[in-house]
Structure 1
Amino acid sequence: MNLFDRLLLFILSVVALVLGVAVVLVGAAVPIGWAQMELTRHPYNIVTMVVGGVTALIAIRFLFFRRRRDPKLDSVMVAGDHGPIRIAYDTIVQLANRRGSQLKGVASFETVVRQGQGGLVLTLHMRVLPDIDVAALAKEAQNAVKSYLEETTHVPVERVLVQVTELGDNNRSMRVWSGTGA
């Protein structure tokens, strides 16, 4: 569905929702005594309310209608010798997390990938160990992840944004890097 069709569906849904709610309110606003007398002869009030309610429900359904994501939006295409190669964003996230977790001073590492205009835009969320030069580690993470991904996937990386979220736990002996040669 293209953008114009989505816009038309949105406008139609809003109009149908307003009309549906208005019909339900009109159907409910008729005096009960008069409605009981008229319903014995003509059941217009109930029909009006049911039609308005169904119309409003359909409009709500289409207002929140979402198609399944196109797999092309969750991957990137690379030209291969024998045809195109599709690399999923999940694979790129795993590669970036693997390389980023190997950096000294990183307690945990998570990557978010999205498509930019000139390549991928990566957002790195890092927890770092205490007593580490955070700015230097962030620059090292940017360079290491960018070069690693470009080497292994041949996908251009437009930008690498780094967010240092917090200090990591210094009590975990397996991940602690003291910074000394010992």
Structure 2
Amino acid sequence: MSGLWRVVLFCYNLLILAIAVAAMYLAVGKNELITAVQSFLGSSVNQIILGASAAVVIALTILIMISLFKGESKPTSVVVSNSLNGQVSITVAAIKTIITKAVRKVDGVKETRSSVTDGPDGVVIYLHMMINPEKSVPEMTQSVQAVVKEHLETIGGLQVSQVRVLIDDFGNANKPVAV
């Protein structure tokens, strides 16, 4: 989040706080605030200022809601190396292809979904897998982690920080392999 957005959100939160304090003030029976607002709105210039301020708050609210629902963008590529000759990058799609080929070498994996994030110590791989229920989970996950890390480092030239594995739903073991 940029510094400008932080300032905007801070001001927005101050406005919401002021409105909440005013509502509490009115809730305890202090009606002087209503009289002050009515005298303030007696001037057409003040009405225009209030209307413009309300329009700005509405616009900010819509922008904040859009930015919250948009989510964080995922990287489309990861830098493999920087040298005097230039930069070498690999796309996330290519990384997933390497992961798919590596996982298929391990017997008992029925389905895998992967995601990739770029960390300070290298890429972090998240694997969501369904495996054959007759296979040993610790042995299989260690094998998958080793194979995926080796393939990404040798074929992709990547520094792999972690390979995180989540085993899910043994009941769907008869599904075909889809990676």
Deviations 1:42-91 (A, max 9, x none): 657864663343132123134346499778x4321123774212212232
CA distance 1:17–1:93, change in 2 (3 Å): farther
**Match of 2:14?**
15
TM-score, with structure 1 as normaliser: 0.68
Counterpart of 1:63, as a letter, is I
Q: Matched residue of 1:132: which SS? A: coil
**Match of 2:145?**
142
User: Does the CA contact (< 8 Å) of 1:17 and 1:59 recur in 2?
Assistant: no
**Match of 1:98?**
101
User: Does the CA contact (< 8 Å) of 2:110 and 2:174 recur in 1?
Assistant: no
Deviations 1:28-48 (A, max 9, x none): x969xxx8xxx9x96578646
Counterpart of 2:155, as a letter, is T
Offset at residue 137 of structure 1 (A): 0.6
User: Does the CA contact (< 8 Å) of 1:16 and 1:56 recur in 2?
Assistant: no
The percentage of counterpart residues that share the same residue type is 19
Q: Matched residue of 2:147: which SS? A: helix
CA distance 1:17–1:98, change in 2 (3 Å): farther
Offset at residue 148 of structure 1 (A): 0.4
Deviations 1:137-181 (A, max 9, x none): 100000000000111111100111111112153445x66xxxxxx
Where structure 1 has 5 or more consecutive residues not aligned to the other structure, the ranges are 176-182
CA distance 1:169–1:159, change in 2 (3 Å): same
Q: Aligned partners of 2:107, 2:53: CA distance in 1, in Å?
A: 64
**Match of 2:30?**
none
**Match of 2:155?**
152
**Match of 2:80?**
78
Q: Matched residue of 2:169: which SS? A: strand
Q: Matched residue of 1:153: which SS? A: coil
Where structure 2 has 5 or more consecutive residues not aligned to the other structure, the ranges are 27-32
Q: Matched residue of 1:9: which SS? A: helix
**Match of 1:63?**
64
TM-score, with structure 2 as normaliser: 0.69
Q: Does 1:120 align with 2:120?
A: no
User: What RMSD in Å do the two structures reach over aligned CA positions?
Assistant: 3.7
User: Does the CA contact (< 8 Å) of 1:76 and 1:87 recur in 2?
Assistant: yes
User: Does the CA contact (< 8 Å) of 1:16 and 1:59 recur in 2?
Assistant: no
